Amino acid sequence: MNKRNFIMLAVLALLVVSLLVSRSCENVEKRFDLFKITQNDIGRIQLKDQTNQLVISLVDNVWTIQEPIQTQARESQLTRFFENFLTLTASTLPFSESRERQNFYHVDSTGVEVTIFDKNNRQITQVFIGRNDNNPMLSYFRYADKNQIYQIDNVQSIVNPLINSWREDRIVTITQDNINKISFGNNAGTYELFQDGMGWSLNLNELTAPLGYENADVNRLIQAILNLRTSTYFDNVYEEYEEKLANTELEIYIEPYTGSIVHLKIAKNDDNSYVLQKNDDYVTLYRLTTQQFNQLNVDPENLVPAGDNLPPEMEGEFI
């Protein structure tokens, strides 16, 4: 074989290899961002399935549930939406492009419709999220105006339109550093806890006893208030609990250094629970367990360690 033929064969071989590599690369999965927006672009989110519709709007820089009732949205769920849903990626190779398969993969009205609006209430995007009946670890995604169906990680819990998945479950959202004073009132009487430069102090019958910051009983009580949460809400049924709330077992006033006073009224509901009303809200009431109530309903003498730090004139208050 002469030199010229050898060179031609080598060039031909390189072209064949190049063609094979090119075709191979075409079949390699590539991924793309499903959304081209960020949290800063959004002013309203609407989630809808066959039975529920949830609308969340940015009102005065606070994410607020507008439908089915008005209440504060849960920060952790919003974080999941912005950081885990908006950042979804999918293969550039659609899982299916069949219009007939949209119902099978629940990327139509049988799934969850997610509509996102900007801060001027203009629609940015609308997509459908479907579930995988055979594999709960997977979800499906389709743009409302396209037929391509993409397979994605399971995001059903992120876009669940049930209000209890999105509403704030913390009853008290004040931080400890911002608490100036907490007042307690029950059938036995009233007392106050307040902060000063030396820690917490107790005010009972106009007498004051310093308790400090290392008092375990005081710290448990403060944390019980700050960590007060519920998973059961009573919406638009105040009349059913009005008589009970007229006979409260415990009332708590939390006065912050900045912001509004938080008023909690707690009444007996049944043998195993209590009902709580916050700031005279007649739309949403909260259920507390007996254990939660007992953590809040603390007698003042239990906060004073064996009479330590008590002024002499105050010791008789705890006999």
| pLDDT, position 197 | 76
User: What amino acid is encoded at 66 in this protein?
Assistant: Q
Q: What is the pLDDT along the chain (319 residues), one digit of tens a residue?
A: 555 555 555 545 555 445 554 554 455 569 999 999 999 999 999 999 999 999 999 999 999 999 999 998 999 999 999 999 999 999 999 999 999 999 999 999 999 999 999 999 999 999 999 988 888 889 999 999 999 999 999 999 999 999 999 999 999 999 999 999 999 999 889 999 999 878 999 999 888 889 989 999 999 999 999 999 999 999 999 999 999 999 999 999 999 999 999 999 999 999 999 999 999 999 999 999 999 999 999 999 889 875 554 555 555 554 3
Question: For residues 247 and 306, what is the distance between their CA atoms, to the nearest angstrom?
Answer: 33
> What pLDDT shows up at residue 22?
52
pLDDT, position 1: 53
Go through the chain and tell me how many residues it has: 319
Q: Which two tokens stand for residue 174?
A: 């004040």
CA distance 44 to 140: 23
CA distance 216 to 10: 83
HSE of 260, CA atoms in CB hemisphere, 13 A: 6
Sign of CA dihedral 232, 237, 238, 239: negative
- For 257-264, the CB contacts below 8 A with 24+ separation are 257/178, 257/179, 257/180, 258/178, 259/174, 259/178, 262/172, 262/174, 264/171, 264/172
Token pair recorded at residue 23: 């075709």
CA distance linking residue 223 with residue 217, whole number of Å:
10
CB atoms near residue 194 (< 10 Å): 15
| pTM of the full structure | 0.75
For residues 61 and 73, the answer to whether their CB atoms sit within 8 Å is no
Side-chain-facing half-sphere of 285: CA atoms under 13 Å? 24
Burial of 200 from C-beta contacts in 10 A (0-12 / 13-18 / 19+): buried
Residue 205 pLDDT: 85
3-state helix, strand, coil split of the chain in percent (to 5) is 25, 35, 35
Predicted local confidence at residue 48, as pLDDT: 97
Phi-psi region of 48 (alpha: psi -120 to 50; beta: other; left: phi over 0): beta
CA 98 to chain CA mean position, Å: 36
How far separated are the first and last CA of the chain, in Å rounded?
115
223 C-beta neighbours (distance < 10 Å), count: 12
CATH of region 176-318? 2.60.40
User: Could you tell me the residue ranges of all domains in the chain?
Assistant: 31-165, 176-318
Structure tokens given for 184: 């307690």
Whole-number pLDDT of residue 290: 97
Contacts of residue 159, Cβ cutoff 8 Å, sequence gap at least 6: 47, 81, 85, 112, 114, 129
Cα four-point dihedral sign 91, 95, 99, 104 = negative
Q: What is the DSSP string of 168-236?
A: --BS----GGGEEEEEEEETTEEEEEEEETTEEEEEETTEEEEEES--HHHHHHHHHHHT-B-S-EEES
At 163 the three-state DSSP class reads helix
